[in-house]
Amino acid sequence: MKTAVLVLALVTNFAIAAPDISKRPMIRDRITTEVPQKNIRPVARALHRNVQLIATVQLKFSIRPLLRPRIIERKAMARLNARRKGQVCGDPDLQGEEVGSVSARIKGCGIKEAVRLRSVSGVKLSQASLMDCPTATALKDWTEKSAKNALRSVGGGLKEYRIAAHYVCRTRNNKKGARISEHGRGRALDISGFVLKDGTQLTVLRGWNSRYGKALKLMHKGACGPFGTVLGPRADRFHRDHFHFDTARHRSGPYCR
């Protein structure tokens, strides 16, 4: 009896606590499972079409480059033809004239295929100099890799070489009974100084121990390789006022002092 009364009391309490109106249940969305079909395959998007469209739009509105005036083209061609006309050794950077064979009375002197060089890589020679093509090419190599770089920040750069000697049939250092100098074979060149674009003149004699000494020493060092023999103020008293360069090849390698 007591148990029945207790159950009745609990049911009554739940009934009192329940809301007057219950919420209406909502209908759930229908849940379905999609089964992949075997005959359908994924297709990649054709992105390249958009890229082509963008490129077409850009090209459509790009600015058309202006043609250079004919007079500029004619001047450029004239300069190019002039360089080709004055080139020697098949190199437009070597300007001068072909001389051909140079003979001499003294045995050992002479040049088989001589050229008279006037400028190299835009650097003028103070006097047109006779030499063979290997020597002219070595001078160009040294000019571009060493001389111009050493004087790049001095006086606006290199303009001219002061030539002290080129081809001359004589013995070494003009000594009687000595061997024929490389000058007598068209393989040597002596440079006593340099003229810069602002008019400054540097001499090997006075510049070696001056504020220009660093540049001169760099040029002297840089010649060792392009030339087989390099002599300067530290070599002997005969070369204290100039650089001697020649293309003689030695078994032990370049001789540089």
For residues 182 and 30, what is the distance between their CA atoms, to the nearest angstrom?
106
Neighbours of 51 (CB within 10 A): 10
Q: What is the pLDDT of residue 204?
A: 98
What spatial distance separates the first Cα and last Cα of the chain, rounded to whole Å? 133
Measure the CA angle with vertex 167, ends 172 and 246; round to 5°.
60
pLDDT string in tens for the chain (257-residue length): 555 444 444 444 444 444 555 556 565 555 555 555 555 565 555 554 444 444 444 545 556 666 667 777 666 666 666 567 899 999 999 999 999 999 998 899 999 999 999 999 999 999 999 999 999 999 999 999 999 999 999 999 999 999 999 999 999 988 888 899 999 999 999 999 999 999 999 999 999 999 999 999 999 999 999 999 999 999 999 999 999 999 999 999 999 99
Q: pTM to 2 decimals?
A: 0.69
How, if at all, do strands 229-231 and 201-203 pair?
Answer: unpaired
Token pair listed for 20:
């007057």
Neighbours of 135 (CB within 10 A): 29
Q: What is the pLDDT of residue 164?
A: 98
Look up tokens 């007079």; give the residue. 71
183 Cβ contact partners less than 8 Å away, ≥ 6 residues apart? 165, 166, 167, 168, 169, 170, 190, 246
Report the length, in residues, of the chain. Answer: 257
Q: What is the pLDDT of residue 5?
A: 47
